Amino acid sequence: MRAFIFEKYKQDLHVADIAEPIVGEHDVLVKVLAAGVNQLDEKIRTGEFKQILPYSLPLTLGHDLAGTVIQVGSSVGDFKPGDQVYARPRDHRIGTFAERIAVHEDDVAFQPTTISAIEAASLPLVALTAWQALVVRGNVQPGQRVLIHAGAGGVGTIAIQLAKHLGAHVATTASASNAAFVRDLGADVVIDYRSQDFEEELSGYDLVLDSLGGQNLERSLRVLKRGGMAIGISGPPTPAFAKQAGLNPALRLAIAALSRKIRARAKELGVSYDFLLMEASGDQLRQIAGLVDAGAIRPIVDRTFPFTQTGRALQSLAEGGSRGKTVIVVG
């Protein structure tokens, strides 16, 4: 079957004929109709995440899919051929930039019934990231104040809607041209990152979701009230993450050093910092599908590319300026 792969870090994606997926007893074989494109794909291709996500090369990229079940393993009970599903395959089993993929049944959910396969493919990674940040880690409650950086991006567009559904007061950073767009998603306060300083404009927040890292993350600590939490999805990773991921002792020490400054600064301010690398979860995707079908969350697809232009779709992420997600149409 056809897939888009790379053989060494920083190499462009190219199409190749690869072996058909092996379907285990707990696997669901899916014909991919559409696949979302994420910054995580690019970070893996360039080698930026090779220490915390070590993959054997060559590798087929792709973390999001929507498609049709064509075969199930002998122990699968919830799915059957013909079902319309969506998924974020677990780490080390990615590869949705392909015509077919075998996914563990625990990572799969029925696609929301009110949206297309293209819209469904845009959701899994970013919606799970928002869910795990705001619901699982942040435990956001009605009336709390949440700052979501890069509100017009893939994670931001879903996180704004989810935070608003949870009853939070939501602030976000975006360009002036996207101000009306993110307000329509539910943002109460919009900070133009080009002309305003969010650190001067905001204070007393319970949670910050940061997708930018660096100085933006450090400055975000100062808008939190005491006891607040900053959750970073770009890093740096923390010792708690390294332990949970089962990384070797030497790498744990290196990760501790990378995040020491931000963790120390958070402690000085009486707040906390947590690194999130989202995990696959079919159960959470089922709950998200319910919110989509209820109208609480709507997917935002900015651009689509045909399967033959998968490499171009990944390159487009570096160009910026998009709203929501880029999706590859495979089927």
Give the pLDDT score at 246: 85
* 318 and 230 in a common domain: no
pLDDT digits over 175-216, tens only? Answer: 999 999 999 999 999 999 999 999 999 999 999 999 999 999
Structural domain range at position 67: 2-122+300-329
Q: Are 158 and 284 in contact (CB under 8 A)?
A: no
Q: Are 28 and 93 in contact (CB under 8 A)?
A: no
Of 236, 258, 275, the one marking the end of a domain is 275
Measured CA to CA, the distance from residue 265 to residue 242 in angstroms comes to 20
26, 30, 35, 38 alpha-carbon torsion, rounded to 10°: 10
How many domains, in total, are found in the chain?
A: 2
Position 294 in a domain: no
Instruction: From residue 142, give the alpha-carbon distance in Å to each of 139, 145, 187, 261, 309.
Output: 10, 9, 15, 32, 43
Give the pLDDT score at 321: 75
CB-based contacts of 108, cutoff 8 Å, min separation 6: 28, 30, 79, 85, 86, 87, 282, 285
With left for phi above 0 and alpha for psi between -120 and 50, is residue 288 left, alpha or beta?
A: alpha
Mean pLDDT, rounded, for 128-153: 98
Residue 322 has pLDDT above 90, yes or no: no
Paired with 140 in beta bridges are none
Residue 320 has pLDDT above 80, yes or no: no
Model confidence band, residue 245 (pLDDT cutoffs 50, 70, 90): confident
Give the pLDDT score at 318: 85
Q: Are 109 and 103 in contact (CB under 8 A)?
A: no
The alpha-helical segments, DSSP class H, found in 19-87 are: 39-46
Position 263 in a domain: yes
Average pLDDT, rounded, for the chain: 96
Q: Are 21 and 29 in contact (CB under 8 A)?
A: yes
Counting runs of H as helices and runs of E as strands, what totals does the chain give? Answer: 11, 16
* Better-scored residue on pLDDT, 249 or 301: 301
Triad 84, 299, 162: Cα angle to 5° = 110
Q: Are 265 and 221 in contact (CB under 8 A)?
A: yes
Give the pLDDT score at 250: 86
* 131 and 79 in a common domain: no
Model confidence band, residue 91 (pLDDT cutoffs 50, 70, 90): very high
Measured CA to CA, the distance from residue 306 to residue 303 in angstroms comes to 10
Position 50 in a domain: yes
CATH of the domain at 20: 3.90.180.10
Position 288 in a domain: no
CATH of the domain at 180: 3.40.50.720
Cis previous bond, 299, omega within 30: no
